[in-house]
Structure 1
Amino acid sequence: MTDSATPTFKQVILFTDVDGRAKFREEEIALTEGNPNSRLSAQLAASGVVLRESPAGFRSQMHCTGKPQWVFILSGAMEIGLADGSTRRFNAGEHFYSADTLPEGETFNPEHHGHWSREVAGEPLVTLFVKG
């Protein structure tokens, strides 16, 4: 949350930009519901949750997110790498919104589209996916 008249929740978003490449951006979700002791956002859509455990040393291939989803790191640490060479680390207790879907009509090209993920804490990576 940030200090402002309306409190907010920082949402890190992994998304597909107009050039078809995965990028990160940050947005604020206003916490306008609830009361001063329990500030809430408006209800967000979700269709289900999936828990995943990946072993120490896990690394995926380049891929796109099939359907936008929240990713919460429950234990361990995850690094996300993009085709442009940039990376971002998410530790236990952190999260991001993964929405880097393959642009409609395009064929997946790992040199241009998507991201890879890997475990970077030397211990199993436990994540919670909240499907949009």
Structure 2
Amino acid sequence: MEAFKVTRVYADENGDSCFDEIYYPLHNGGPIGYLSEKFSVKDLIFRKVLPTYDDFHTAPHRQFVILLDGGVEIETSTGERRQFAAGEVLLMEDTDGKGHRSRNLKEQVRSSLFITFD
């Protein structure tokens, strides 16, 4: 079966941010390709962030983040770091706790798309 990988950032019971992988199953949609089930979403937000932004913060909402260009390094509150490139999808669920840090990998404005949940 086909699946779509999304990296999840969440807060554990101690408030530490952690990484996890989620694989959303895809079903054969015929000539249009493989599709996931529909997600109920609330808002869609375009974002551009300066390369100097580098601070610990929590996610303001439970949201998907789709990187449109550049790259980002996410650091959890425990010090684990992972790098993500344009086209990758993150599920940010650390809306409380100690938060995470995001850092541009290139000295350029980074564009992304936020899709929030209810």
TM over 0.5: yes
Tell me the CA shift for residue 68 of structure 1. 0.7
Tell me the TM-score normalised to structure 1 length.
0.81
Return 5+ residue gaps in structure 2 as ranges. none
Aligned pair partner of 1:98 in 92, 100, 104: 92
The letter for the 2-side match of 1:128 is L
TM-score, normalized by length of structure 2?
A: 0.90
Q: 1:53 to 1:35 in 2, by over 3 A?
A: same
Following superposition, the deviation at residue 18 of structure 1 comes to: 2.1
- Residues 57 and 120 in structure 1, CA contact (< 8 A), matched pair in contact too: no
Shift of 1:37: 4.6
Pairing partner for 1:55 from 50, 56, 59: 50
1 CA distance for matches of 2:105 and 2:6? 22
Rg comparison, structure with higher value: 1
- Cα distance in 2 for partners of 1:51, 1:66 equals 14
2:81 corresponds to which letter in structure 1?
A: T
CA–CA distance in structure 1, aligned partners of residues 17 and 53 of structure 2: 21
- 2:40 corresponds to: 45
Structure 1 unmatched runs, 5+: 1-5, 103-107
Q: Note the C-alpha offset of 1:35.
A: 2.4
Q: Which stretch of the first structure deviates more once superposed, 29-38 or 75-84? A: 29-38
Matched residue, 1:74: 68
Alpha-carbon separation, structure 2, partners of 1:18 and 1:26: 18
Equivalent AA in structure 1 for residue 56 of structure 2:
M
Verify the 8 A CA contact 1:50 1:129 in the aligned structure 2. Answer: yes
Q: Give the aligned CA root-mean-square deviation in angstroms.
A: 1.5
Q: Tell me the distance in 1 between the aligned counterparts of 2:94 and 2:50.
A: 24
- Percent of residue pairs identical: 28
SS in 2 for 1:20: coil
